[in-house]
Amino acid sequence: MKISINHYYYYFATLAILLVVPSDAQLSSTFYDSTCPDALSTIRTSIRQAVTNEQRMAASLVRLHFHDCFVQGCDASILLDDTTGERAALQNGDSVRGFEVVEDAKQAVEAVCPGVVSCADVLAVAARDATVAVGGQSWTVNLGRRDSPAAATRALAENDLPRFTDPLPTLISNFENKNLNERDLVALSGSHTIGQARCVTFRDRIYGNESIDPDFAITRRRNCPESGGNGNLAPLDEVTPNSFDNTYFRNLQSLRGLLESDQVLFSGGSTDSIVQEYIDNPDRFLSDFGSAMIKMGDIEPLTGGAGLIRRTCGSSN
So which residues are the catalytic ones?
Answer: 67
Length of the chain as a residue count: 317
Distance (Å, rounded) from C-alpha 112 to C-alpha 170? 44
Please provide the DSSP assignment of the chain as one string. Answer: ----HHHHHHHHHHHHHHHHSPP-PPPBTTTTTTT-TTHHHHHHHHHHHHHHH-THHHHHHHHHHHHHHTTTSSSSGGGS--TTBGGGSTTTTTT---HHHHHHHHHHHHHHSTTTS-HHHHHHHHHHHHHHHTTPPP-PPPB--BB-SSPPBHHHHHHHS--TT--HHHHHHHHHTTT--HHHHHHHHGGGGS-EEEHHHHHHHHTT-SSS-HHHHHHHHTTS-SSS-TT-EEESSSSSTTS-SSHHHHHHHTT--SSHHHHGGGSSSTTHHHHHHHHH-HHHHHHHHHHHHHHHHTSS-B-TTSSB--SBTTB--
